[in-house]
Structure 1
Amino acid sequence: MGWPMCLVPAKCRLNKRFPTVKAAVRGVTRLEFLLVLSIVFLNVAIFLPFVVRSRDAARRAECKNNLKQVGLALANYHDNFAAFPSGFEVNPNGNYLGWGWNLKILPYSDAADVYHRIEPHFANGIHGLKDVPNWNRQLSSLCCPSDTDVEKVPHAMVVTGKVIDGVVAAGTQNWQSRLPRSSYVGNAGYLQLEAGGIQYNSAATPTSIVPLMNAGSLGNVGVVQSPRYRYCDQKSFRGFFGQNSHVRYRDVTDGTSNTLSVGERYSPADATASATGYGTWIGVPDCTNAQGLAMSLGDASLRINIGMPFREQTTGFGSLHEGGANFALGDGSVRCLSQKIETVLFRYLSVINDGSYQSPQGK
């Protein structure tokens, strides 16, 4: 006898033994969303400073490498001419020149073609470049990567007249030009109390002094000063560079490893302001005031980064690196000096022959 036939359909029997279970679909709760979001923000807060710090370290290293190349070019120039280039050139009589130290070392860099384009116009001075096409090229090797405003170049006044018996004719600064920028200016040293760091009023009594608000006055240069101080004479400022200077290794009696040659200059935040504080590799377009001199030179009258965090205009030294600025020394080495360095020590380091033999403490 066979098995009795099951009258229940197979589908029903299957569902009875193995009931179908439908998974419940549930959304993410607000608490879970906030928890995930807080974890993301926590990770960002933890790792972002490391990312920013590493980027700044990379930019600082690139800036140091730029200065090392500048130091090497200066050494090569000295090997060929037995002296470092002039801070800037002024003819005793004739056209105002203004060519700076940075231009003169371009043949020893990757921008030799720029130098050779300008060289035929040396006798005419910076003013003679107004009709020369494509001379004012921005050179990345002379720009600090941390200075994002380095491309903002204001107009600068350029001397167009003559020099008579070493004195620049008055009222001849009337050609405006957009000069190529540089983040690195030559160390001019500093003047003594009566003529640098604080303003000396020659019209009043010799004891009348007025503190300067600007960082590094370059001796309050200008026509009110005697010829000795007027155009940043190297023998008065005692730095690596000055008007018609020709400093040799043997002149640096404090030691090349103890003396600053070139330092950083940050761009002012307001690009629409006057050109004071902006650096250029072409030279000094106008040596009759601190604005023009500071485009190629800097002095150590006041401390590093005096204008931070507002980045006010300065004729001294400073950078957008955190806590200090990079400097090339006379021996070609590069150090980052802290903005907390004592002003007296900073001045010692800026002078080539003060007998202090101070050594820079920096990385």
Structure 2
Amino acid sequence: MKHRGFTLIELLVVIAIIAVLIALLLPAVQSAREAARRAQCTNNLKQVGLALHNYESSNGAFPPGGVSDESKGTNWGGSVGGNNLASWRALVIPQMEGGNVYNAINFNLPLNATVSAGGQWTALMTVNATWVCPSDDNFQGQGPGIRSSSGAWGNYPNGTSPINPFTGAAETRVMVSNYSGSFGDNYAIGALSSGQNPWETYPYPPTLGAGQARIGFPGFWGTAWNDAVSTQSGGQLRGMFSYRIMGVGAVTIASIIDGTSNTIMVGEVLPAQAADSNFWNNNGATFGTTIPINWQTLRAPLDGTTPFGTTDWQNRFSYASKGAKSRHPGGANFTFGDGSVRFLKSSIALPVYCALGSRAGGEVISSDSY
């Protein structure tokens, strides 16, 4: 009696064919998943843009990058002259269906200070999922929108965590976001580390060669100030959000002379690649367009020190970490002043990117240049 069945060779061939099919199918599945995540990210940024325009409609101007006026005291302390250090993100929470969270916070107090009220603490440890890009999976195992608060890979401004009123201990977590406001083509580095960075033109004003485009304008991070409280750079905000108030003035629709469809308002960032990306505080709420899109700042000092001003432009403690970047292949999503969301490629020419960052620079940008 003859027995029918597969030979070993036939079985191996079938397994090989299945493996090939899986290998062909897996990239397509991953691509489809990324497309869905990118679509969700786009929707998130549209909601942020709508919230900003609703805020502008109610107040006659867009929110400041942060409630911090260094003419009244230190930017970090937030204890002088009403400097609560609240970021623009905190100010538009009511427009993001977060009225209960907003009402639980005492904005008369610095948001990075020790909090005694349990309700306020709970609010400050809350971030709506709309503020998090689903493609970003680097949150140290703590969940989307949450990172460690201290150490070389921590994300709390100035390295000091507030005291958790429920535990009495320093808080180990910090809320973060994947979306920051643009201070445009103001200097992100040059005002502090003159001539040491690879992109911004120097000196100030620069002497440009034939055909060379200027990259960077005073002042530092869109303010009239340099790093020292007493030092004014004479700069003016060229983008939408300055992280300090002094000498900036309100940004209105009318001040966007280049056109809302030609001006970047909000863009993607990666909290893991910046030492300061606290959701609530001003210092982690802005980025600049003088730094190439998706410039990687994946390094941190092994000894846990915080060498701000380092010339290692791939260090998360350097000023190069204040650039737009995402986990989407090839570029990042941006909300423009008209509320539209567009994907800009990492290969975009830096002069074009900077022109999109300025709201009143007078640049002429070709429609096919990005």
The alpha carbon displacement at 1:55 in A equals 0.5
Residue 115 of structure 2 aligns with an amino acid whose one-letter code is K
Alignment of 1:261-300 (within 5 A): 261-268=265-272, 276=275, 279-284=277-282, 293=283, 295-300=284-289
* Structure 1 residue identity aligned to 2:266: V
Give 1:222's aligned residue: 227
Partner of 2:206: none
1:238 aligned partner, one-letter code? R
Alignment of 1:1-16 (within 5 A): none
- Structure 2: how far apart are the matches of 1:200 and 1:308? 18
Question: Are the aligned partners of 1:68 and 1:334 in contact in 2 as well (CA < 8 Å)?
Answer: yes
Q: CA deviation at 1:26?
A: 4.7
Counterpart code for 2:37: R
The verdict on how the C-alpha distance between 1:199 and 1:79 changes in structure 2, with shifts beyond 3 A counting, is closer
Specify the code of the residue in structure 2 equivalent to 1:94.
G
Aligned counterparts of 1:138 and 1:65: Cα–Cα separation in 2: 17
Q: How far apart are residue 127 of structure 1 and its match?
A: 3.2
Task: Give the distance between the partners of 1:157 and 1:114, measured in 2 at CA.
Answer: 21
- Of Structure 1 and Structure 2, the greater helix share is in 1
Aligned to 1:180: 175
TM-superposed CA distance for 1:199, in Å, is 5.6
Note if 1:30 corresponds to 2:8: yes
The question of 1:258 aligning with 2:262 is answered yes
Report the TM-score, using the length of structure 2 for normalisation. Answer: 0.72
**Corresponding position of 1:124:** 109
Gap regions ≥5 residues in structure 1? 1-21, 160-171, 202-207, 230-234, 270-274, 285-292
**Which is strand-richer, 1 or 2?**
1
Shift of 1:80: 0.4
Q: 1:317, 1:187 → 2: CA distance?
A: 9
Equivalent residue, structure 1, for 2:251: 247
Shift, 1:252, TM fit: 0.4
Identity, % of aligned positions: 30
Alignment length (residue pairs): 297
Aligned mates of 1:79, 1:94 — CA distance in 2: 27
CA contact (8 A) 1:258 1:357 kept: no
CA offset at residue 153 of structure 1? 1.1
Q: Give the match for residue 131 of structure 2.
A: 142
Q: Is the alpha carbon distance of 1:99 and 1:224 closer, same or farther for their aligned partners in structure 2, counting shifts above 3 Å?
A: closer
Specify which of 48, 52, 56 is matched with residue 30 of structure 2: 52
Q: Secondary structure at the match of 1:263?
A: strand
Paired residue type of 1:190? D
**CA deviation vs aligned residue, 1:126-183 (integer Å, no higher than 9, x gap):** 1346223312213211000000124351315558xxxxxxxxxxxx967475331110
Matched, 1:305 2:294: yes
8 Å CA contact retained: 2:147, 2:174: yes
1:124 match: secondary structure = coil
CA contact (8 A) 1:325 1:338 kept: yes
2:21 corresponds to 1:43: yes
Cα deviation for residue 190 of structure 1 reads: 2.4
Does the 8 Å contact 2:199/2:291 carry over to 1? no
Counterpart for residue 97 of structure 2: 110
Which residue is equivalent to 1:358? 365
The letter for the 2-side match of 1:351 is S
In 2, distance between residues paired with 1:157 and 1:66? 24
Give the corresponding residue for 1:319.
326
- Equivalent residue of 1:179, what SS? strand
Give the deviation of 1:103 after TM superposition: 1.1
Q: Deviation per CA, 1:204-256: give whole Å up to 9, x if none.
A: xxxx6222699x98489522983337xxxxx6241100122520000000000
**Conservation of the 8 A alpha-carbon contact between 1:337 and 1:360:** no
Measured in 2, the distance between the counterparts of 1:125 and 1:317 equals: 27
Any idea what SS the aligned residue of 1:45 has?
Answer: helix
1:267 Cα deviation from its structure 2 partner: 3.3
Equivalent residue for 1:71, pick from 36, 42, 49 = 49
Paired with 1:264 and 1:37, the residues of 2 have a C-alpha distance of: 43
Q: Distance in 2 between matches of 1:333 and 1:238?
A: 20
Does residue 133 of structure 1 match 2:127? no
Q: Shift of the alpha carbon at 1:45?
A: 1.9
Q: Is the 8 A contact 2:181 2:287 kept in 1?
A: yes
Structure 1 Cα separation of the partners of residues 10 and 369 of structure 2: 50
How far apart are the structure 1 equivalents of 2:128 and 2:367?
Answer: 29
CA distance in 1, matches of 2:134, 2:369: 20
**Which structure has the bigger radius of gyration?**
1
Against the structure 1 CA distance between its residues 280 and 361, is the aligned structure 2 distance closer, same or farther, given a 3 Å change threshold? Answer: farther
Please give the alpha-carbon distance, in whole angstroms, between the structure 2 residues aligned to 1:63 and 1:127. 28
Report the 3-state secondary structure (helix = DSSP H, G, I; strand = E; otherwise coil) of the residue aligned with 2:54: helix
Give the structure-1-normalised TM-score.
0.73
Q: Name the counterpart of 1:345.
A: 352
SS at match of 2:49: helix
Task: Tell me how large the CA RMSD over aligned residues is.
Answer: 3.1
Report the CA distance shift for 1:225/1:302 in structure 2 as closer, same or farther (over 3 A). farther
